[in-house]
Amino acid sequence: MTFRSLVFASLLYPTLAALGEECQRYLNVKGLNSPSDLAEQLATAEAGQPTPCLENVTAQNFYAPNPKPSIQGATDTTNLNCRYGNPQMWQSCGVCCGLRPHFNWVVATCEASKGVGQFCWNMPSCLTSGSPKINYVAAYQFDGTNFVLMDDSTAGEISPEGVRGNFWRGVGFSALNSSFQWSGGDWTTKYAPWARGSGPDGPRGVTPPAGLWILSAENFYYGAFYMLSQLGLNLEGKGQPTGTNCWMWELDPVEGTAGWSPGQPLPGNVNMDYSTENAQASGCMPISYTSRQANGLGSEFKFPEDFRATCAANPTQPGCQPSKENIHWGGGRQGTQRFENLWDEPYVFAVVVDAKGYWIYRWRPEAYGGHSTGWPGVNRHYALRTLGPRPAPVTDVRGLKTDVKGDVPEAVILQPSLSAEAACLRSSVEQVTWQWGSDALAAMAEELGETGPGARFEGTQNWWSSFTDTQQNANYPASIMGLEAKNMTETYHCNVPGSFSCDCAVEQRDQVLKASKEEEVLV
């Protein structure tokens, strides 16, 4: 090749993309020659099912939210359709195939209605009638600079300034919740924003480049604040007209646990509400599960990348020794990701989804003079229409680790995302399944630049990479992602049916115990 043709060649092929180290290693570990080999293996993994799955555009136009944004700066999700992943995408007339990243909130309670859901069995009446007490719930779309309120996904009194709500005055969520009534089930009563008419005309939900949900409550002792896909919310709200609710994604930032194994002891007190990101997996937004698994069962701390520096600086801090610790970054029963919520104590929760993961903040307004929080514009009884990209950094050490006590003024929990390289390492310790195989293939497609219409691996997705980094991480320690379960040394007084009272509080009881012990010593 002459010098001239070399120059031409490099103009014609400006980026000769190659697999990263971890994705190349994945192929070696699995004995595959190329990403195409992996795609072929996935195509035969679900016998008889077309892979990628076949979308039903008619069904999507009926039920799915509009891929085109109405807020400038929000992402057009047309090309983010997930066609390799959760087996539900082959169900009932292709309505789930091509799921896009549009997510929205659900609030679940034990308020009396016809049946009683399993999360509400054995609950005392003080609890079913007194918790939660909600001021407002708000949803925001990131526009590249700010978070912008989405009126149709916000339950509170909406004005040009923002959203208001005050439970004690009967203003906001408690007065307006009937227009958000959704189908109850495992929780007796549920509220959510969903499309009563055609999907594209209904709520769009939160999409890339980032989103934010806020819940302000005078009491969130027991209940659930969680997220599902907007398509799923629409289908379930309509009573599953196509026979499915496309349950292919779920995030549970704050969830009471009595329904996890009804009748059995809860993992913590009844008023410890857990964060979980792995109740369902899509195959298009990889999740970590444990720190050890996320680091490929190796001893080196590699992922999430953003914690490499802090772990290198202080290698024995919690979360930095994946082979020695067993930390559930994804939350759940064995996890430590939980918030103890005291009775009639106001809390404001903010949940951000961005490229780095799910950031779950909790503030206790009583520690801020009664009204404000750490996020300018977010208050106990109102939130402004436009919010800056992030709150003031959390500095309280008790809030910079999971297992957050009821009296902690400010706290943040992170459920980390997986970059392409992290997804390949995470998947390398699993079989090639619809979940882990699809996650790895999407990672390779991204590294090779072969996603999108007409590309070789069209329909594979790592939705995390379509989100942006809103820079929530203020040089936080890895303990915001979790501790070891053995670090939870509290004594539970309220975790079996019959003991679910409305005044559970670990810290106060511990203090009381400590005080009486000190007295004994003095005596």
Ligand X SMILES: *[C@@H]1O[C@H](CO)[C@@H](O)[C@H](O)[C@H]1NC(C)=O
* Site residues for ligand X per CB under 6 A: 56, 58-59, 62, 93-95, 109, 111, 132, 134, 173-175, 177, 242, 318, 401, 479, 483, 486-487
Q: Which of residues 246 and 432 has its CB atom nearest to ligand X in the complex?
A: 246
CB closer to ligand X, 487 vs 499 = 487
How far apart are CB 398 and ligand X at their closest, in Å? Answer: 10
Angle at 482 between CA 351 and CA 279, to 5 degrees: 60
Cα–chain center distance at 231: 16
Which DSSP letter does residue 215 get? E
Do 154 and 138 meet the contact criterion of CB atoms below 8 Å apart? Answer: yes
The CB-of-181 to ligand X minimum distance in angstroms stands at 8
Q: Closest separation between CB of residue 303 and ligand X, Å?
A: 21
Q: How far apart are CA 317 and CA 57, in angstroms?
A: 50
CB-CB contact of 325 with 319 (8 Å): yes
C-alpha angle 225-230-236 in degrees, rounded to nearest 5: 85
CB 360 within 8 A of CB 213: no
Cβ 58 to ligand X shortest distance, Å: 4
- Between residues 189 and 470, which has the closer beta carbon with respect to ligand X? 189
Which C-beta is closer to ligand X: that of 28 or that of 491?
Answer: 491
- Please spell the DSSP secondary structure of 30-64, one letter per residue: HT-SSHHHHHHHHHHHSTT--SSPPP-HHHHHHHS
Q: How many angstroms separate the Cα of 267 from the Cα of each of 13, 112, 400, 496?
A: 55, 25, 21, 10
Q: Which is nearer to ligand X, 209 or 319 (CB)?
A: 319
Half-sphere exposure of 238 (CA within 13 A, CB side): 22
CB nearer to ligand X: give 122 or 487. Answer: 487
**Amino acid, res. 28:** N
Asked if the bond preceding 203 is cis, omega within 30° of 0, the reply is: no
Q: Which is nearer to ligand X, 173 or 358 (CB)?
A: 173
Closest CB to ligand X among 92 and 118? 92
Pick the closer one to ligand X by CB: 195 or 483.
483
Minimum CB–partner distance for residue 449 and ligand X (Å): 32
What is the smallest separation between the CB atom of 218 and ligand X, expressed in angstroms?
Answer: 10
The nearest distance, CB 452 to ligand X, in angstroms, is 24
Question: Before 209, cis peptide (omega within 30)?
Answer: yes
Instruction: Specify the residue, 219 or 379, whose C-beta has the smaller distance to ligand X.
Output: 219
Closest separation between CB of residue 321 and ligand X, Å? 12
Residue among 65 and 132 whose Cβ is closer to ligand X: 132
Let me know how long the chain is: 523
Measured from the CB atom, the residue of 96 and 442 that comes closer to ligand X is 96
- Residues near 521 by beta carbon (within 8 Å), at least 6 away in sequence: none
Which tokens belong to 32?
A: 């595959």
Convert 393-425 into a string of H (helix), E (strand) and C (coil). Answer: CCCCHHHCCCCECCCCCEEEEEEECCCHHHHHH
Quick one: three-class SS letters along 122-145? CCCHHHHHHCCEEEEEEEEEECCC
Q: Shortest distance, CB of residue 412 to ligand X, whole angstroms?
A: 15
Strand arrangement of the beta sheet that strand 250-255 belongs to: 181-182, 189-191, 103-109, 224-229, 250-255, 272-276, 338-340
Least CB distance to ligand X at residue 112 (A): 10
Q: Which one, 86 or 174, has the nearer CB to ligand X? A: 174
Asked if residues 373 and 209 have their Cβ atoms less than 8 Å apart, the reply is: no
Least spacing, CB of residue 64 vs ligand X, in Å: 11
For 205, the token pair is: 């939900």
162-164 β-sheet, strand order? 157-158, 162-164, 382-384
Say how far apart CA 370 and CA 308 lie, in whole Å.
Answer: 38
In whole angstroms, the minimum distance from the beta carbon of 57 to ligand X comes to 8
Give least dist CB 114 to ligand X, A.
15
